[in-house]
Homo-oligomer: A and B are copies of this chain.
């Protein structure tokens, strides 16, 4: 199974959170399984808030990247885009909303699950849930915006 991030063009693959070409980054991978997207990440031990708890910034980062990746997956599916290297639509974040429901333990694998809420033109709304050992600790919503085809930096 190939992650959506591995279908991005090279120039869109340098994200610290999910770019396959960013050697220092998290290299998050987003997969579609059924109607849900899945991503997994085990935080480094220095990513603390308070001892033993994952810091909120990392959790926001993971939700952000899994959110834009999920938007790409759902948009491609809805628009009948057959994914191949490197034709995946590239989304950026317009708005990120994160609710920290309970402390997220460090040193354990986190599982992020994404669901499509709405596609409206170039705008895709996804919800993301973060689980640690099957316990929901963080919820997020991402409004992702499709980059224009002629986007240049």
Binding site for B on A (CB under 8 A): 11-12, 14-17, 19, 22-25, 46-53, 55-58, 60-62, 64-65, 92-100, 153
User: A7 to B3, alpha carbons, bound, how many Å?
Assistant: 44
Instruction: Check A55–B24 contact: CB distance below 8 A.
Output: no
Instruction: Check B53–A153 contact: CB distance below 8 A.
Output: yes
Selected from B53, B56, B95, the residue in CB contact (under 8 A) with A97 is B95
Instruction: Check B46–A22 contact: CB distance below 8 A.
Output: yes
Looking at the assembled complex, report how far the CB atom of A88 sits from the nearest CB atom of chain B, in whole angstroms.
14
| A46-B24, A46-B25, A93-B100 as given contacts; A15 in contact with B55, CB under 8 Å | yes
Looking at the assembled complex, report how far the CB atom of A74 sits from the nearest CB atom of chain B, in whole angstroms.
19
Selected from B14, B47, B56, B95, the residue in CB contact (under 8 A) with A64 is B56
Residues of B with C-beta under 8 A to A51: 11, 14, 153
| A60-B60, A61-B60, A64-B57 as given contacts; A47 in contact with B16, CB under 8 Å | yes
